[in-house]
Structure 1
Amino acid sequence: MKVLIVEDEILIAEQLQRMLKDIAPQVEVLDILHSVKTARRWFMQNAEPDLLFMDIQLSDGISFDLFNYFDIKCPIIFATAYDEYAIKAFKVNGIDYLLKPIDEEDLIRALEKFKALQKNATISNELLQSLVNHPSHQNRIYKEKLIVQHRNASLPIMLNDIDVFYLDQVIYVVTHDGQKYVAEQNTLDEIEDILNPLEFFRAGRRQIINQRAIESYKGDTSGKLYVKLKNQHVPEVEISREKAPVFKRWIDR
C-alpha cells in the first residue's frame, strides 16, 4: 500500500511514519510533503498514492487548495489540530478525520476503514451524506441568514434566497431576484464554512453556487463544465476539468 503524507510539522510527520510502520509494515511511504506548493508539484509529476494522509493548515496555505487544481480520487485521512474543517474534509474523499495528537487506536480504526472501502466499494456519495452523523458535527446547525451591506446599512437575508457568492475584490452576494449585496466576510473560505455543503458548491476560487439556482450544465472537449443558473443576472459559471467530477458527484447524489 503506497501512502503519501502532507504535513508541515516535521516531527509529527516522522511520528506518523513510525506509527504506520509499526501498525502496518506493508505500508510504503512515498514521500513527506511540507507545503501546498510542494504537494502541487508532486501531484503534477506522480500518480496518486493508494492513501493520502493530509494536514489542513500548512505553512503556505490550506491543503484544500489542492482540490482547485487536481481531481484527487484516492481516499484521504485528514490529521489536524482543528475540528472545524470536518464538513469540508468529507466533501473531498475524506474517509476519516483524526485530531492531533494522533491516537494509535484512532489510526488503526482509520486504516481498517480504508481496507473495508477497498474490499467493498470505491468512495461513494454516501460519504458526503455520512458527514451529518460525524461526531464533530452531530449537533451542527447551519446558518439560515447572512448579514450583508446595502446602502450603508446592514441587512439580513436568507441563505436560501442566495444564488451565488462571487469574489471581485470583495465578496458579492446575488439573490434570486437579481439583487446584489456585499458580504461582511472577507474570503470565500469564511463563507463556505457557514454553508451546508449539500446545498452549496465551491465552483472555484471565486464562486460558490446554490444547487437550487442551477438550471443546467454542459461540458466541452477539454473536460470543463459550464453551469447555467436560473438567475438571468448571473453569467455562466465555469468549473475546471479537475473539479468537474467532484461537481457531478455532488449534484447527482
Structure 2
Amino acid sequence: MKTLIIEDEALAADSLEAQIKDLRPGTEVLGKIGSVEEAVEWFGENLPPDLLFCDIHLSDGSCFEIFKQVDVKCPVIFTTAYNEYAIEAFKVNSVDYLLKPVKKDELAFAIMKYEDHKSGSLDGEMENLKELLRHFPASTGNKKKSRFMVKSGQTIKAINGEAVAYFLAEEGVVLLVTFEGKRYIINYTLDQLEELVDEEMFFRVNRQLIANIGSIKEVHPYFKGRLHLTLEPGVAGEQIISSSKASSFKAWLDL
C-alpha cells in the first residue's frame, strides 16, 4: 500500500506514519506534506497514492482547497482536531475521518474500511466528497489552533491552547510551557506560532516569547518607555516589551 500524509504538524505526521507502518508493515509512505500549496504541487507531479491521510486545517488554509484545485483520484482518511458538524457526513461513507490525537484502534478500523472498499468503485465516495465541499466554507485558513501536539517520551499528546502559559525560544528550540510548569519542545517557530494562536489570548512579547494573557502576573514601567513583565510560571531572564510595542500591549491588556 502506497500512502501520502498531508499534515502540518511534524510530530503528528511522524506519529501517524509510525502507527500506519505498525498496522501494515509493508506500507510505503510517499511523502509527508504540510500545506495546500505543497499538496497541489505534489499531485501535479506524481501518480496518486493508494490511500491519502489528510489533516483538515493546514498551515496555509483548509485541505478542501486541495480538492478544489486537483482531481484527487484516491480514497481519503481525514484527520482533524476539530469535531465540526460537516465532518459527521463522513461517518456514513467509505471516506473516513479520525479525531486527533489519532487512536490506533480507530486507525486500524479506518484502514480496514479502505481495504474493504478498494476493489470497488470510488465514484460514489468522491461524489459524496464533492457534495460536502458545496456546503463547507470556502476557506478556513484563518482558523486559529485550539490545541498543539507535543511529544512526551514516546507518547504524542495534545495540549489545549488554554493550558499554554507561553511559548519560549530557548537554546535553539521553541518550548511550549503550560501553566503547570511543564515544558515541551514544539515543532514551530515563534513567527509561525504568532500567526496560529488566538491574538486575544496570546501576545508576541519579544523575539523570545509569546505569552498567554493569563500568565502575566505583573507589569512595571522600565527605562525609555519600555515595560518589564513578571510571568507565572516564572521564566529565566528579563522579559521586556519595547517602547514601540508598549502601547499595543497595554491596549491588549485593556489598560
TM-score range, shorter chain: 0.3 to 0.5
After TM superposition, the score normalised by the length of structure 1 is 0.48
